[in-house]
């Protein structure tokens, strides 16, 4: 199966956009820029719209999810929207009892810690993604030539929440289960891969022009554990979209030791956190992989000249990769002054890209 003919990548709307061409490894006249968590609490218009609506209810209201997705695109002039949703939405739609507690994160009514718990998980085929498809379709219609990025959580990061029952520091219980009960672990990760892969496919078929797989908590793993007990399931999560010819970004926090295997699960682009300079990330990846990143979110609150110098340094180091999409090294902190993000977009559009490089 391929994308429908009316999909923005096929009908001429987004195939030549700066984001999509860069994700395909071609450095153009402009370095595209978007921000992880660009939609959300840093924007007063988001805080206003969300009053009285719970996080996951907002995600499942197509008109609200679409409006929230569009807010940062209008305000900052970023090169992409990222669909407003959450990595736990597919779990909820499959029937898992999960809520997002403000200031804390996803919390499950019943943690999944044994083989019996894994066997009792609902059928991934039972998840109905209609609300997501409607939200994506509304968003894509409003975005015109600006591409929408669809996303999903990788199986390990989802398992970190499922096993712990909520946010945790080192994901100790999940990492114990991985070794203590490999059968339960494999069952859990296969389940997570199936449900998160379907979530991603639903967004792409409904109109998203790129995909990002978030393995946010991958940094707590050894390289061996990642390669042997996690990466095969991340590859499985991408299986449902492999026939669609849509560029895939793979991002993790603290991923410096596992950049190569993260690329090898089937990603076109590797997202790098703030710890590793992009020239070093590119060297580790053999020099041929398109990168996304990696402005340190901490510097968003620093004086502009400090932040400006840092952004220019990120652009310079990004030139050691075949192509580069500027982003943060992790999400926008809620207390960020949104005008700072707009200023970064202007700076990157002025100073990034092949044209700026040649005129130097
Ligand atoms: O703009 C965007 O980037 C799109 C929206 C998006 C959200 N969650 C919205 C959200 C995306 C891509 C995610 C993914 C997500 N969710 C990840 C992977 C990305 C990352 O940050 O590493 C993870 C680990 C989660 C789980 C999760 N959901 C956490 C840790 C939290 C924060 C809890 C809090 O209140 O601080 C959430 C809730 C969440 N997801 C919010 C938003 C805007 C905040 C909810 C609110 O506004 O009340």
Span 37-70, pLDDT tens digits:
999 999 999 999 999 999 999 999 999 999 999 9
pLDDT at 179 over 50: yes
Looking at residue 223, its pLDDT comes to 98
Looking at residue 200, its pLDDT comes to 98
Span 5-35, pLDDT tens digits:
999 999 999 999 999 999 999 999 999 999 9
Domain locations along the chain? 18-359
Taking residues 330-336, report their average pLDDT.
Answer: 97
Span 115-126, pLDDT tens digits:
999 999 999 999
* 117 phi, psi to nearest 5 deg: -60, -40
User: Of all residues in the chain, what percent carry a pLDDT higher than 70?
Assistant: 98
Q: What residues are labeled active site?
A: 37, 41, 50, 86, 161
Rounded to whole angstroms, the Cα distance separating 162 from 124 reads: 15
| pLDDT band at residue 109 using 50, 70 and 90 as cut-offs | very high
| pLDDT band at residue 352 using 50, 70 and 90 as cut-offs | confident
> Ligand 1 centroid vs 49 CA: distance in angstroms?
16
Q: Among 45-59, 162-176, 323-337, 341-355, whose mean pLDDT is lowest?
A: 341-355
Looking at residue 354, its pLDDT comes to 65
Span 30-44, pLDDT tens digits:
999 999 999 999 999
Span 289-302, pLDDT tens digits:
999 999 999 999 99
Ligand 1 atom closest to the CA of 157, numbered from 1: 24
335, 23 Cβ separation under 8 angstroms: no
Per-residue tokens: 305: 């000249």
Looking at residue 270, its pLDDT comes to 98
> Ligand 1 centroid vs 37 CA: distance in angstroms?
7
pLDDT at 110 over 50: yes
Would you state the torsion angle of the CA atoms of residues 116, 99, 36, 274, taken in this order, to the nearest 10 degrees?
Answer: -60
Class of domain 18-359 as given by CATH: alpha beta
Looking at residue 359, its pLDDT comes to 47
> Ligand 1 centroid vs 101 CA: distance in angstroms?
11
Side-chain-side CA neighbours of residue 180 (13 Å): 9
In terms of Cα–Cα distance, which of 64, 251, 297 is closest to 156?
Answer: 251
Rounded to whole angstroms, the Cα distance separating 183 from 189 reads: 10
pLDDT at 273 over 50: yes
Ligand 1 atom closest to the CA of 50, numbered from 1: 47
Rounded to whole angstroms, the Cα distance separating 288 from 323 reads: 9
18, 349 Cβ separation under 8 angstroms: no
pLDDT at 357 over 80: no
Identify the residue whose C-alpha is closest to ligand 1 atom 23: 87
Binding-site annotation: residue ranges for substrate: 37-41, 86, 161, 216, 330
pLDDT at 355 over 80: no
Taking residues 162-171, report their average pLDDT.
Answer: 96
Q: pTM for the complete prediction?
A: 0.97
Per-residue tokens: 204: 């792409």
Rounded to whole angstroms, the Cα distance separating 222 from 226 reads: 6
> Ligand 1 centroid vs 86 CA: distance in angstroms?
6
| pLDDT band at residue 260 using 50, 70 and 90 as cut-offs | very high
Looking at residue 353, its pLDDT comes to 77
Residue 360 DSSP class: -
Q: Ligand 1, from 45, 70, 99, 100: best to mutate by most atoms within 8 Å of Cβ? A: 100
pLDDT at 360 over 80: no
Per-residue tokens: 336: 């960020």
Q: Which residues touch 316 (CB under 8 Å, ≥6 apart)?
A: none
The dihedral region occupied by 171, where left means phi > 0, alpha psi between -120 and 50, and beta the remainder, is left
Looking at residue 356, its pLDDT comes to 59
98-101 and 105-108 as β-strands: parallel, antiparallel, unpaired?
antiparallel
CA 350 centroid distance within chain: 25
Taking residues 184-191, report their average pLDDT.
Answer: 98
């Amino acid at each position: 199966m391929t994308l429908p003919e009316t999909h923005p990548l096929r009908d001429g709307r987004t195939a030549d956009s700066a984001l999509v061409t860069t994700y395909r490894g071609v450095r153009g006249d402009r370095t595209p820029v978007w921000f992880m968590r660009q939609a959300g609490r840093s924007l007063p218009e988001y805080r206003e719209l969300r009053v009285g609506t719970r996080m996951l209810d907002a995600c499942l209201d197509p008109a609200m999810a679409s409006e929230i997705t569009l807010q940062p695109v209008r305000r900052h002039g970023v090169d992409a929207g990222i669909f407003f949703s959450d990595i736990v939405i597919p779990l909820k739609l499959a029937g898992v009892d999960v809520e997002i507690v403000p200031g804390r994160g996803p919390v499950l009514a019943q943690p999944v810690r044994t083989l019996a718990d894994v066997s009792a998980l609902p059928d991934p085929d039972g998840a109905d993604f209609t609300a997501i498809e409607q939200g994506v379709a509304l968003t894509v219609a409003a975005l015109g030539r600006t591409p929408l990025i669809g996303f999903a959580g990788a199986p390990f990061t989802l398992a970190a929440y499922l096993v712990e029952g909520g946010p945790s520091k080192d994901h100790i219980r999940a990492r114990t289960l991985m070794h203590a009960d490999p059968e339960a672990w494999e069952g859990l990760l296969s389940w997570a891969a199936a449900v998160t892969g379907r979530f991603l496919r639903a967004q792409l078929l409904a109109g998203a022009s790129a995909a990002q797989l978030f393995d946010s908590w991958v940094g707590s793993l050894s390289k061996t554990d990642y390669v042997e007990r996690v990466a095969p399931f991340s590859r499985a999560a991408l299986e449902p979209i492999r026939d669609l010819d849509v560029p895939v970004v793979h991002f993790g926090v603290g991923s410096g030791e596992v950049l190569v295997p993260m690329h090898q699960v089937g990603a076109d682009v590797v997202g790098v956190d703030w710890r590793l300079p992009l020239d070093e990330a590119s060297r580790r990846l053999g020099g041929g992989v398109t990168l996304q990143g990696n402005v340190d979110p901490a510097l968003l609150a620093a004086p502009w000249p400090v932040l400006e110098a840092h952004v220019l340094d990120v652009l310079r180091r990004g030139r050691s990769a075949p192509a580069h999409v500027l982003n943060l090294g992790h999400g926008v902190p809620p207390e960020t002054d949104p005008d700072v993000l707009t200023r970064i977009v202007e700076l990157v559009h002025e100073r990034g890209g092949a044209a700026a490089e040649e005129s130097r």
